[in-house]
Amino acid sequence: MKNALLFILILILTVLAAISGWAVGKLSNSSSELSLTQREKELSVAVENYSPTCEQLSSEGVHGPVNINNNLLIVKVEKDYFHVLGFNTDPGLPPVSWWWGASREAAVAQACDKS
């Protein structure tokens, strides 16, 4: 009888430890996911608001990187399109990336008219 009670007590404590470990892990993951979502949002805004210069858009290839608030932005220009690739480089945090692209013709007209 004593062994059965000891076994049940150990079983209950093991289940409680597993449940508390799961709860702590779930709370920890949700807070880091919130931080990751916020960083992705900030990076997407930075990438989509970046306007490549006339010089960058005038020649095909890869231009950059440009550093804006721990975000590295690289412009890749192709024949008809350009893409802005963004990488968040906050120290000690997992990397986040985002990209955006548009028509090269319209961007050249807009960027080169400003100059």
Residue 83 has pLDDT above 90, yes or no: yes
* Residue 30: pLDDT over 70: no
Quickly state the pLDDT bin for 1 (edges 50, 70, 90): confident
Kindly state the percentage of the chain with pLDDT values over 90: 17
Say yes or no to pLDDT of 84 above 80. yes
pLDDT band at 5 (very low <50, low <70, confident <90, very high): confident
- What per-residue confidence (pLDDT) applies to 75? 93
Asked if residue 102 lies in contact with residue 81, where contact means CB atoms within 8 angstroms, the answer is: yes
pTM exceeds 0.85? no
Least confident window among 59-68, 78-87, 89-98: 89-98
Q: In the predicted model, is pLDDT for residue 34 greater than 80?
A: no
